[in-house]
């Protein structure tokens, strides 16, 4: 028995129950507690307990009276004051009248420490999962949710009790269940699974989610552990070039993002596989090492400063960090948050870093696009300024009561304000060029220019160049004026100082032409950016020169008219005729051709009809067919001529506007149109139509043409269905009328031809017609300041629209 006491590897002692003094101790106890035997025998068992456990000791001593006792795990103090966890087993010792008790104190310090570490790690894992940016979940093979984080409750709207009682399939559309089951099965088979689908919340909202998971084992049973990330923003922003990889659980070490836990300026406590893969480290190289051990000093310093911000603020923070990896430097978007109130991790942070290198590259490209857009916007602003410049010039032309010289004076003032240092105009009057305007933005230089023109008419901006421009009818542009050129045209050297004072850098002289007829010239003296402006705006300047020529010519004609009375009347008519020549030639041609062709067509029609009546039996079959075709085509030609005459006559008809009921007019037209097609039984629905102010004769022609078209182009074998309606476009102050049929329709790629003269979208074999009807509709509506357009689908029908002003004024 004594040998068992002395050789026992577990600490043992004997104490007197009466005074609690220690009466014997074995070597294992001496080793554990650090006392000598003499020191130990001076102690009581109370001396081994911390002050906080004395009350607990008294309770244990009461139990010792009952024989053998297992007091469980308690804390003892070593000689140096450090605690040690021991399991106390005690039993009474029979030794005469002594009240002794044998105590075995099994050292379980490592067990208790390991248990505490396990609890701390469990709390750490809980904190990590609860702070993951998504839903954390653990499911079994049947799809039952075993573990989850708070995000799953928040996002789905289900309580923890509801989640615990239901299957994970509850959160998905039944039609998605097969692919979800397949993904789960794939996960248990291969160890990994991922899926993109819609998560359905308790209130029915659908949220696009990306789920990823990997397998693990819990109590001998396989399960899937993973994350779900809301990707709805990526769905709404298609231009976003980067799709972030979703996180997997830190335990499985399969996350597509880097996850780590570390102390500030201290060692890394946890890193996942992605950390090691990207940065090229093994676990032994990282765990227990600091940023200073792993990275260059400057980078390590920055990382520690970022971590310190997180701990000091006690809140999550986000950083962009450029980290060297095995594939070169990459940019990471890192979310760091403190692990608060977790024993052992009070000064630790958890970080989740996502590679956004491609996103940053895309941002760089976006920056390039922004710069391009900026340049284009500046170009548009330049164009806008030019249009405003033209608008100012046009405003001058529209002013009444000005002479040509007064108008050109105002134009020159705008020119020197906007685009030139000097602007002068020379007009061809009585076959001689005469200077009418000289303007400079500097009045002193304007006087110098006027004096130079008077004293040296052969100077480069005067008669010689002007004559060349007029004779060639082409502009002269000298982008750089050399001293040699000045000497060549300056006949009086003493004026050189005055020429130099003008600081001329370049010259532009443009002819002023109206229908290739010379009116005069415009001279611009330019400097600096003005030269670049002129080179870049050649088309604008051509248009400007034409407008100036046209306006000047008009003003000169008016001035001449005021002096020449009856003679001027004729010239005004000539000028007006020249301006309207294109339209009148077309109208005159149509009218003349129509009249000139009518007589020979009557002869062809008449003689062909006589041949058919008198000589029909003498003709062979080909002759009969040819003669019939000739007779039919001559009649069709007559119809074309009649329509062409109607079309030409339309522009000459006066328009007499009056207020009338459109519905009454349409109903009258419906009656007339039905009479033209007696073999059909059309269904024509006319909705309420407003009163309008227009020429009722012309508008009636519009409705008759549109109704005839709708009835004519109905689907063969079916009675036509026609719907007439209107709507009030208050924003544009117009009534929009429409006529819809269920006929054969047409391809909208030919819509631009629909309202043209003689334009037909169907052959004569299908539908008869000349192609004038809709052109006439378009012209009538145009005369009423309205518009015409159409919408059609082949085989389904056509809707023709036209608008008329709603304002009776």
Domain positions in the chain are 2-107, 134-246, 399-564, 582-649, 653-805
Q: Which of 685, 401, 679, 428 is nearest to 559 (CA)?
A: 401
Please answer whether residues 257 and 245 qualify as being in contact, where contact means their C-beta atoms are separated by less than 8 angstroms: yes
Rounded distance between C-alpha atoms, residue 7 and residue 9, angstroms: 6
Residue 460 has what pLDDT?
45
Tell me the two tokens of residue 739: 């006529």
Residue 802 has what pLDDT?
94
Q: Which CATH number fits domain 134-246: 3.40.50.620, 3.30.450.20, 3.90.76.10, 3.30.499.10?
A: 3.30.450.20
Please answer whether residues 33 and 79 qualify as being in contact, where contact means their C-beta atoms are separated by less than 8 angstroms: yes
Phi and psi dihedrals of 25, rounded to 5?
-150, 145
For 457, the enclosing helix (H) or strand (E) is none
Rounded distance between C-alpha atoms, residue 584 and residue 181, angstroms: 79
Which residue is associated with the tokens 């998605």?
A: 176
Burial 464-494 (b: 16+ CB within 10 A, else e): ebbeebbeeeebbbbeebeeeebeeebeeee
Tell me the two tokens of residue 87: 């399991």
Q: What are the angstrom distances between the C-alpha of 303 and each of 258, 308, 723? A: 15, 9, 75
Please answer whether residues 79 and 35 qualify as being in contact, where contact means their C-beta atoms are separated by less than 8 angstroms: yes
Rounded distance between C-alpha atoms, residue 248 and residue 211, angstroms: 9
CATH class of the domain at 2-107? alpha beta
Please state, as a whole number, how many other Cβ atoms lie within 10 Å of the Cβ of residue 35.
Answer: 20
Residue 652 has what pLDDT?
53
Task: Give the pairing of strands 206-218 and 788-793.
Answer: unpaired
What end-to-end distance do the CA atoms of the chain give, in Å?
Answer: 128
Which residue is associated with the tokens 């249009």?
A: 387
Please answer whether residues 728 and 735 qualify as being in contact, where contact means their C-beta atoms are separated by less than 8 angstroms: yes
Q: What are the tens digits of pLDDT across the range 709-732?
A: 888 877 777 888 899 999 999 888
Rounded distance between C-alpha atoms, residue 541 and residue 390, angstroms: 10
Its sign, for the CA torsion 213, 217, 223, 229, is negative
Phi and psi dihedrals of 304, rounded to 5?
-65, -40
Which residue is associated with the tokens 């309207």?
A: 580
The overall average pLDDT reported for the chain is 78
Q: Within a 13 Å sphere around the CA of 99, how many CA atoms are in the beta-carbon half?
A: 9
Q: Which of 70, 149, 56, 73 is nearest to 115 (CA)?
A: 73
Q: Which CATH number fits domain 399-564: 3.40.50.1360, 3.30.450.40, 3.20.20.100, 3.30.1490.20?
A: 3.30.450.40
Residue 241 has what pLDDT?
43
Task: Give the pairing of strands 83-95 and 69-77.
Answer: antiparallel
Task: Give the pairing of strands 721-729 and 683-686.
Answer: parallel
Parts of the chain with a pLDDT under 50: 238-252, 460-463, 582, 758, 760-763, 765-767, 769, 809
Strand stretches in 392-534, DSSP E: 422-429, 432-440, 476-478, 506-514, 517-526
Rounded distance between C-alpha atoms, residue 522 and residue 438, angstroms: 10
- The three-class DSSP label of residue 407 is helix
- The three-class DSSP label of residue 305 is helix
The third-level CATH classification (topology) of the domain covering 653-805 is Heat Shock Protein 90 (3.30.565)
Rounded distance between C-alpha atoms, residue 488 and residue 42, angstroms: 130
Phi and psi dihedrals of 3, rounded to 5?
-65, -40
Phi and psi dihedrals of 436, rounded to 5?
-110, -25
- The three-class DSSP label of residue 389 is helix
Q: Do the first three CATH levels of 2-107 and 399-564 match, i.e. the same topology? A: yes
Please answer whether residues 733 and 806 qualify as being in contact, where contact means their C-beta atoms are separated by less than 8 angstroms: yes
Please answer whether residues 658 and 639 qualify as being in contact, where contact means their C-beta atoms are separated by less than 8 angstroms: no
Rounded distance between C-alpha atoms, residue 493 and residue 505, angstroms: 19
CA angle 285, 287, 290 (to 5 degrees): 85
Q: pTM value?
A: 0.31
Rounded distance between C-alpha atoms, residue 680 and residue 695, angstroms: 30
Residue 78 has what pLDDT?
92
């Amino acid at each position: 028995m004594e040998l068992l006491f002395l050789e026992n590897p577990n600490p043992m002692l004997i104490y007197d129950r009466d005074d609690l003094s220690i009466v014997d101790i074995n070597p294992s106890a001496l080793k554990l507690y650090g006392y000598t035997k003499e020191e130990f025998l001076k102690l009581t068992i109370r001396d081994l307990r911390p002050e906080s456990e004395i009350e607990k000791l008294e309770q244990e001593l009461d139990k010792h009276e009952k024989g053998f006792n297992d007091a469980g795990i308690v804390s003892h103090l070593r000689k140096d004051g450090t605690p040690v966890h021991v399991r106390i087993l005690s039993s009474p010792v029979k030794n005469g009248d002594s009240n002794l008790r044998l105590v075995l104190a099994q050292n379980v310090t490592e067990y208790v420490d390991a248990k505490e570490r396990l609890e701390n790690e469990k709390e750490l894992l809980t904190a990590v999962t609860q702070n993951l940016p998504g839903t954390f979940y653990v499911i079994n093979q049947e799809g039952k949710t075993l573990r989850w984080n708070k995000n799953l409750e928040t996002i789905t709207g289900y309580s923890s009790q509801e989640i615990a009682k239901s299957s994970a399939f509850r959160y998905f559309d039944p039609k998605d269940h097969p692919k979800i089951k397949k993904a789960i099965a794939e996960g248990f088979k291969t160890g990994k699974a991922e899926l993109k689908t819609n998560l359905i919340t308790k209130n029915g909202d659908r949220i696009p989610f990306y789920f990823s998971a990997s397998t693990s084992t819990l109590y001998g049973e396989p399960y899937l552990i993973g994350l779900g990330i809301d990707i709805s923003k990526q769905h709404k922003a298609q231009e976003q070039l980067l799709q972030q990889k979703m996180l997997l659980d830190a335990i499985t070490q399969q996350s597509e993002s880097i996850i780590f836990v570390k102390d500030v300026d201290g060692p890394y406590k946890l890193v996942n596989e992605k950390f090691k893969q990207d940065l090229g480290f093994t676990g032994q190289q990282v765990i227990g090492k600091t940023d200073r051990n792993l990275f260059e000093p400057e980078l390590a310093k920055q990382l520690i400063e970022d971590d310190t911000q997180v701990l000091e603020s006690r809140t999550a923070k986000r950083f962009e960090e450029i980290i060297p990896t095995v594939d070169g430097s990459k940019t990471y978007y890192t979310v760091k948050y403190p692990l608060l109130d977790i024993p052992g991790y009070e000064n630790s942070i958890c970080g989740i870093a996502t590679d956004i290198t491609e996103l940053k590259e895309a941002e760089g490209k976006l920056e390039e696009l922004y710069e391009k857009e900026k340049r284009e916007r500046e170009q548009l602003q330049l164009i806008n300024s030019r249009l405003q410049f033209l608008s100012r010039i046009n405003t001058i032309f529209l002013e009444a009561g000005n002479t040509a010289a007064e108008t050109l004076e105002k134009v020159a003032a705008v020119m020197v304000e906007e685009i030139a240092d000097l602007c002068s105009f020379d007009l061809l009057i009585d076959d001689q060029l005469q200077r009418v305007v000289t303007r400079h933005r500097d009045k002193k230089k304007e006087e110098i220019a006027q004096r130079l023109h008077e004293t040296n008419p052969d100077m480069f901006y005067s008669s010689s160049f002007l004559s060349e421009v007029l004779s060639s009818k082409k502009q002269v542009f000298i982008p750089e004026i050399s001293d040699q050129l000045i000497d060549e045209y300056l006949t009086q050297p003493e004026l050189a100082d005055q020429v130099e004072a003008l600081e001329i850098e370049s010259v532009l002289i443009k002819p002023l032409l109206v229908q290739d007829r010379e009116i005069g010239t415009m001279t611009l003296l330019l400097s600096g950016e003005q030269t670049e402006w002129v080179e870049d705006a050649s088309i604008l300047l051509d248009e400007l020169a034409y407008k100036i020529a046209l306006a000047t010519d008009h003003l000169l004609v008016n001035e001449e008219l005021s002096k020449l009375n009856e003679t001027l009347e004729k010239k005004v008519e000539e000028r007006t005729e020249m301006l309207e020549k294109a339209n009148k030639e077309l109208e005159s041609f149509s009218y003349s051709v129509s009249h000139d062709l009518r007589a020979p067509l009557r002869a062809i029609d008449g003689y062909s009809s006589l041949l058919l009546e008198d000589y029909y039996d003498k003709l062979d079959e080909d002759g009969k067919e040819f003669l019939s075709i000739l007779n039919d085509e001559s009649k069709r030609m007559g119809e074309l001529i009649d329509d062409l005459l109607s079309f030409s006559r339309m522009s000459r008809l006066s328009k007499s506007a009056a207020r009338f009921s459109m519905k009454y007019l349409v109903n009258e037209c419906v009656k007339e149109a039905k009479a033209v097609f007696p073999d059909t039984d059309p269904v024509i629905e006319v909705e309420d139509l407003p009163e309008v102010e227009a020429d009722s004769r012309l508008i009636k022609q519009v409705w008759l043409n549109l109704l005839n078209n709708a009835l004519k182009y109905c689907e063969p074998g079916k009675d036509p269905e026609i719907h007439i309606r209107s709507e009030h476009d208050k924003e544009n102050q117009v009534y929009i009328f429409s006529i819809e049929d269920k006929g054969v329709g047409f391809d909208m790629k030919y819509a631009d031809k629909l309202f043209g003269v003689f334009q037909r979208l169907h052959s004569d074999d299908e539908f008869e017609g000349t192609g004038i009807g809709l052109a006439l509709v378009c012209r009538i509506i145009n005369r009423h300041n309205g518009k015409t357009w159409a919408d059609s689908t082949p085989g389904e029908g056509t809707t023709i629209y036209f608008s008329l002003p709603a304002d009776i004024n």
